[in-house]
Amino acid sequence: MPTLFRFLFFLAVFAAIVYGTMVALVTFVEPVERDVTVRIPSERVNKPQ
């Protein structure tokens, strides 16, 4: 049984590290706003009739 407890403890520590990393990213990283321009070919807009 000690091996099972060691494995579960390792998984709990790993999950805590991942969760802490996610919280740090959400807290400290701000997204940069920028304009997005998408060129559409005139053939798609003005279809021949």
Looking up tokens 């802490």 gives: 20
The model's pTM is: 0.58
Number of domains in the chain: 1
| In the chain, % of residues over pLDDT 70 | 94
Q: Is residue 38 in some structural domain?
A: no
Q: What is the pLDDT of residues 7-25, one digit of tens each?
A: 999 999 999 999 999 999 9
Q: Is residue 12 in some structural domain?
A: yes
Q: Is residue 47 in some structural domain?
A: no
Q: Is residue 13 in some structural domain?
A: yes
Residue 45's pLDDT is: 77
Q: Is residue 36 in some structural domain?
A: no
Q: Is residue 34 in some structural domain?
A: no
State the Cα–Cα distance between residues 28 and 33, nearest whole angstrom: 16
Please enumerate in sequence order all residues whose Cβ is within 8 A of that of 40, keeping only pairs 6 or more positions apart, or say none.
none
Q: What is the mean pLDDT of the chain?
A: 90
Q: Which domain holds residue 18?
A: 1-29
Residue 49's pLDDT is: 64
